A and B are shown apart, each in its own frame.
Chain A
Amino acid sequence: MQDVRSAVIAVAGMGSRLGLGLPKCMIEIQGKTILSRIVNTLRSKVEIINIVVGYREEMVIEYCSQHHRDVGIVRNPNYKTTNTAYSMALGSRHLSDKVIYLDGDLIISPTSVEKFIQSASKHNVLVGLTDAKSENAVFAHGYQDNKDIINLTKFSRTEGSSYEWANIVSGPANLMENAERYVFEHLEGLLPLPGAVLEVAEIDTPEDLISAKAFVSERLV
C-alpha cells in the first residue's frame, strides 16, 4: 500500500454557525491559529500541504505569506455555492499520491494524526473518527475489526453512536472527484470502509469553540 505524501486542508467555508466573520481556521486558541496548529502538526509528516481558500481568502493568503510560505494555496472562487468535498477535490486535482483530507476547523492531537497517517498507508481509504461529542455530530456505526480499526458500515445524523465522523479521511488523490454532497455522504457510497479513531475537536458552533479551548488546555499543552 501507498504512504500518505500530501495533505489537503479545506478552509474555504464561511463558518456561518460560529458567526465570527472570519474563516474558522483563523481563530486563535491559546495564541495560535487553528490553521497554524494543523500545518505545524502535518509539516513533518507529509511532503505537500495544499490549503484551499475561499471566504476572506486575502486574509488567509496574507497569513500564509507571513507564517507558512511552504504551503500551496488553491483558490475556490465558487466557495459560496460549493461544499467542502468540492474544495477538497480542487485541492488534490494535480496530486498523484495518497492524500489526507482535512477540514480546516479541527484541533487534532499530533500523536493521533501521526498514528492515523501510519495506519492510512495500509488502507486504500481510511476514515477518521472521533469520540462523539460535537453539537451537530454525524454518528458513525460499525464494529471493531481489530484494536486499531473499526469496520465502518453506516453514518447517521439521528441514530446515536460512540463515534462521530471526524472530517478527516485519507485516500487516493481522486477520492473527491465528482463528489457533489457532503464528504461523509460521498463516503457513504463507498461503505463499508475502515475507520480509525483520532483525538479531535471540531469547531462549528460557539459551544464547540468552548469545548475546543478545553481540549487544547487538557490534551495539547
Chain B
Amino acid sequence: MKTAYCFDLDGTLTKTEVLPCIASELGISDEMATLTQVTMDGHIDFEASFKLRCLILSRVPIEVVQKIILDIPLDKSILKFIQSRRDSSFLVTGNLDVWVKPIAELCGCRLYSSEATQMSESLKIEKILRKDTAIAGIRALGFGRVVAVGDGANDIAMFNASDISIAYGGVHSPAPGTIAACNYVFHDGEVLCKMLEAL
C-alpha cells in the first residue's frame, strides 16, 4: 500500500510562522503574530483571518516575500525526510502558492496551497485551500494510506481526512483542538521522522 506523507508548512516545516515574518517588512510583525496565533488556536475563522492577513501583506512585493520565506529556518529532519521521499511527500498549506513556491521547490515535493494572482499593486486571492479536499485529491493519486503532520486548528480537517494524524510541537505546543484530533504528538523532528520511517 502506498503511503502519502502530508506536512503543514507554517510552524511545522518552518521553524516559525511565515506571515509574521513577511509582516516585519511593514513593521507590524507583532500584530500579525497575534492575529496568526488566535487563528491557529481556532479562536477566529481561518478563512476570514487569512484573507485579512493576505490583504494587509499584499503590499509587500512577491519577490521580497519569497526572499523572506527562503530565509526562514526549516526543521532539518522534516526537510531531509521530504527530500528523501519526494514522490510521496506533500506540502499542504493554507498559505499562498505565489509566496511559498520556493520552499516547495527546495523540498522537491508537490504543493497543495491556497492560490493567488499577482495584480499590479496587490494580490487577488483565487482559492483558499480546504485541507480535507487536498487530502482527498492526494488519495485520488493512488495513495492507500495518508499520514498528516500539522500544528494548528486549520490542520484538524486534514487530520480528520487522514489515516494517521500527528500533532507536531517542534516550535510551539500544538493547539488544544489539534491535539484532540490527532493520534500522536511529537516535539522533536528527529523522533517524528524516525516514527514516520517506521510506518
- Chain A interface (Cβ < 8 Å from any Cβ of B): 47-48, 57-58, 61-62, 64-65, 69-75, 77, 94-96
Contact = CB atoms under 8 A, between A and B. Distances in A.
A194 B122 CA distance: 72
Contacts of B187: 64-65, 69-70
Interface in B84-131: none
A72 B191 contact: yes
A38 to B, nearest CB: 17
B198 A58 contact: no
B179 A95 contact: no
A48 B194 contact: yes
Contacts of B61: none
Contact of B179 (A47, A58, A96): A58
27 contacts: A47-B194, A48-B194, A48-B195, A48-B198, A58-B176, A61-B179, A61-B185, A62-B173, A64-B185, A64-B187, A65-B169, A69-B187, A69-B191, A70-B188, A70-B191, A71-B191, A72-B184, A72-B185, A72-B186, A73-B184, A74-B183, A74-B184, A75-B179, A75-B183, A75-B184, A94-B164, A94-B199
Nearest to B194: A48
Q: Looking at chain B's contact residues, is the secondary structure mostly helix, strand, loop, or mixed?
A: mixed
Q: Looking at chain A's contact residues, is the secondary structure mostly helix, strand, loop, or mixed?
A: mixed
Interface string B155-184: 000000000100001000100100110111
Interface of B: 164, 169, 173, 176, 179-180, 182-188, 190-192, 194-195, 198-199
Greatest chain A CB density within 10 A among B164, B176, B184, B199 is at B184
Contacts of A48: 191, 194-195, 198
Contact of A72 (B179, B180, B195): B195
A70 B195 CA distance: 11
B188 A73 contact: no
Given A62-B173, A65-B169, A73 B186 contact: yes
B74 to A, nearest CB: 18
A94 B192 CA distance: 13
A95 B191 contact: no
A75 B185 contact: yes
A173 B49 CA distance: 44
Nearest to A74: B184
A47 B198 CA distance: 12
A75 B167 CA distance: 11
A46 B113 CA distance: 39
A69 B192 CA distance: 10
A47 to B, nearest CB: 8
A95 B198 contact: yes
Contacts of B199: 94
A64 to B, nearest CB: 7
